[in-house]
Each structure stands twice: as structure tokens, then as C-alpha cells.
Copies of this chain bind each other. A is one copy, B any other.
Amino acid sequence: MEHESKKKVTLKDIAARTGLSVNTVSRVLNKKPYYTKEVEEKVNAACKELGYIVDMNASGLRSGSTHTIAIIFDDLVNPFYAFTTDIISRRFEEKGYNSIMFSNNGRTAYVDYELMRSVMARKPDGILSFLEPAADMVEFIKNTGIPFVIFGRDGAPYGMSGVDADEEYGGRLAGEHLLACGYKKFAYIGSWHDVKVCLDRQHGFAAALRQGGAELLPENVFYAREAEFSDIIGAIAAGGVDGIFCFNDIIAFMALEALGSRGLEAGADFGLVGYDNIQQMMRMPRIITTIDVGINDFAVCGAEQMLKLLAGEQTAPFRSNHRTVLVKGGSTR
């Protein structure tokens, strides 16, 4: 004989134990009007005694609300995603929503049909995405009728809700700082050539340089996810570049490491600005100069926007735009 595993306790069991109907038990547990104190106590006692735990799948099937939110991201390797996901999912949990994770597994930088299929199969109450929808998915997503929040990107172009930061402004800060430090020849290392955030930072950077009488030459614009990193560094070193702006801190760290191993000294031989200030999240010393969005407020804002949509308090697409600041570190003089 096997050791028997505890039988699942259902509403039926609670009904049997209390002598009430399944219906009444359900009403008490969901705090729907009307029941007597006496009934309430009986139900709660039986639930405790038998160890009743609701089946959210069953409840969601009938009620249409699964109390689940899908969170879509690229990866958790970048602390920026991990940190915001942490804050956001915690906030959701407080409000009774569980988070289910989806990633595009690096297939594309967008939410495509394949990804939406697996998301929809879970019937989430809401979808919070770090990725923009693919062009042909915008209508599909709207037709689902499920609240969709684009986090970290402006939703307006899609007619969707979004929480974004002023990326151009961030790029501008980087450019102004590198100029002020006295660097002369500039490069940008982005992630993907077709991701809006990446381009916005690039454009802000280029604009600041232009305003300062300098220039971001096309041959000094690179995309780390589309080329060998050693080739990028090779080109930068060969080109005599001394002012480098990177799309994010991970790329900046990689550049710092690669240039360092070529005998170049950060600050002195070249200046480097990253983005996200992940060293603050890790409680690290300020190794690099970087742009900081104020990640806590940023993440909380994304969570709140979702919760408002779920509560029906907000219906029209809503935009929240955040301002960034530059945080000086050891990678610029």
C-alpha cells in the first residue's frame, strides 16, 4: 500500500461538513451579501479544519477573472528587468494577482503571435509587457479586450497605455556630460537598430553632440546584439573614439572590460556612460557614470497603471513619462 496523499478538499466537502449548500459556502468565502454571522463562523471553521484552498483555475473559468497578470520580458539577466519585475509582481501580489512569466526567448524584440498565443491560453486579467507589440499584433491585442500596459516604452503610438521615461533626454544628458568632460570623438553602442528606446537614446545623444559642435558619425554607431562585441571594440579603438555612450550598463561594463584589457584607462583615455544605474541596485561602488530613471517610482507607476485599468478606474490609454538624471561614476573624468 502506498502512503495515501491527502485528498483534495473542495467546496462540496465544506458544504457536507457544515450542512449548507455549496452555493452558500461560496458566498461566504467571497463575502457576497447575505449570510448570518452564525453561517459565516461555521463555514470558516470547517475550512480551517479541513484545510480548504480555493481552486483559482475553476473559479476563473466560471467567473471570467483569473486574478493572473502576464508579465512579458526579454530576459531577467539584465537587473533592470529583474528589479522592476520584482517590484511590480510584489505590488500585484498585494492586490491578489499572481504573475505568470513569459519571454520571447530572444526570438525577436517584439511581442509576436506565437507569444500572444501562450499568453492568451492562460486567460490573464491583464498583460504588462516590457516589449512592444509587433506591428501586426496591435489590433489583435486590442481585440482581446485585456488591459495591456507597455512598460518602459511610450504606448501612445499604439494607442495603448504605457509608462516610459524620456529616453531622448537621457541620451542628451550623456552627450552633454561627455562633452563637458572634454572628450572629442564619440560612439554609441546600442542594442538593436530597430528598437525605439535604443534609437531615442541615440538621437538624444547625437543632438546634444551637435549642439556642442561635435558629431556622432554613422560609422561610430554600433548595435551589440547584431555584431560581435570584439569587432565593435576593435572599431572603436582603431577609430580613436574617446567618448562612448552605451544603451545600458551591461553593455557599458562589457566595453569597460574590453577596453581595459587593451590597456586603456577609463576616465583618462576614454569616457564611458551607461544607462540604468544597475550598480545602485547591486549596492556596488560607482564604477561607471550612468543614467538613472528612478527605478522604484518607475516600476510602481507601471504596476499602478495596470491596477487602475483592472479596477476600471482608467479606460483611455494613459501615459506616464519620467525624467532621468545622470549619476557620475568612475568611468568619466
Contact = CB atoms under 8 A, between A and B. Distances in A.
A89 interface: yes
A82 interface: yes
A5 interface: yes
- Most chain B beta carbons < 10 A, residue from A79, A102, A143: A79
A55 interface: yes
Given A105-B90, A283-B253, A56 B122 contact: yes
Contacts of A66: 57
Contact of A117 (B53, B79, B118): B53
A120 interface: yes
A285 B288 CA distance: 11
A135 to B, nearest CB: 18
Contacts of A5: 143-145
B250 A283 contact: yes
Given A82-B76, A86-B76, A101 B103 contact: no
Contacts of A122: 56-57, 98
Contacts of A81: 82
Contacts of A99: 100-101
Given A101-B101, A102-B98, A257 B283 contact: yes
23 contacts: A6-B145, A53-B117, A55-B121, A56-B122, A57-B58, A57-B122, A76-B86, A77-B82, A77-B86, A77-B281, A81-B82, A93-B103, A98-B100, A98-B102, A98-B122, A101-B101, A253-B282, A256-B284, A256-B285, A257-B283, A257-B285, A278-B282, A287-B287
Given A6-B144, A76-B76, 11 more contacts: A53-B120, A54-B121, A57-B122, A58-B61, A77-B79, A82-B82, A90-B103, A93-B118, A99-B100, A256-B285, A284-B287
